[in-house]
Amino acid sequence: STAPGQALGYGLQYTRLAMLLMDAPEGTSCSLEVIDDLAVQADDDSSRLVQVKSTHTGNPISDRALPLWKTLHNWLRLAQNNNVIPDRARFELYISKQCAGTIADAFSRAGSIEEARIALQAAKDTLWGAPPEHLKKGSLGSELGQHVTTFLEGPEKLVLPIIMHFKVECGSGSPQSDLQEKIRRLVLSPKNVLDITDKACGWVKRNVDTQLEQQLPAVLATDDFRRELLGYIQRIERSAILRSIAPPP
């Protein structure tokens, strides 16, 4: 009974990867399951790490949601292992539908170190209770409590930049529709949108699978994707223009 939901979650990564490739700066690379669920990386060590969550009923960013704190814990561990530089990274938690959480929203709004420090303290008060007693600390359970404690008690030189560069991104509930809407703004003929969306998704799926089959990391060049997609758009848009002005045979 859980298999369809798991399949949807894995499939969402491919769809979101196509959207990242459309938005990523020139000269960057986008990856799937290399440094994070998805990532955009540039030669100057700047990066955008994306955790992808698909959900129909739950809320992965509620204050006590395990996915939220497991994600933050993982990002902290990446920073501690020098796999990512928090000051040069964006930490994005993407959810397929609209969700909200007091702590996650406060982290997402923090735009400075001081605002991040205030949000961090508020999270401690909410989950642990007021200091110094922290009477709520034992109510989190073992697994959730471990992730919460590791992040909230982590070194501030890493934790605060992660919070400052943390963003929650929510989809409409239909990632495929969101991708189609993005492509709709690029083309002249609305009837070509579905065809171009299929091309984008198919190119991403084929190239990721090919690299995984060869036991290579699934890393795609943004410029390659743009070149392929733009060439395809030009071909079908030109064909539509020629058909529109051609006389009856």
**In this predicted model, what pLDDT tens digit does every residue of 158-210 receive, in sequence order?**
999 999 999 999 999 899 999 999 999 887 778 889 999 999 999 999 999 99
| Arithmetic mean of pLDDT, 237-246 | 66
CA pair distance 103, 120, nearest whole angstrom: 9
pLDDT confidence band for 132 (50 / 70 / 90) = confident
| 68, 69, 105, 153 from 64: Cα distances, Å | 8, 8, 13, 17
Q: Is the pLDDT of residue 243 over 80?
A: no
- At residue 244, the pLDDT reads 62
- At residue 134, the pLDDT reads 78
- At residue 234, the pLDDT reads 87
**In this predicted model, what pLDDT tens digit does every residue of 32-42 receive, in sequence order?**
999 999 999 99
- At residue 59, the pLDDT reads 92
Phi-psi domain of 112 (left: phi exceeds 0; alpha: psi -120 through 50; beta: other): beta
DSSP E strand stretches across the chain? 29-32, 38-41, 47-53, 89-95, 166-170, 218-221
CA pair distance 20, 175, nearest whole angstrom: 12
Q: pTM for this one?
A: 0.87
Q: Is the pLDDT of residue 56 over 80?
A: no
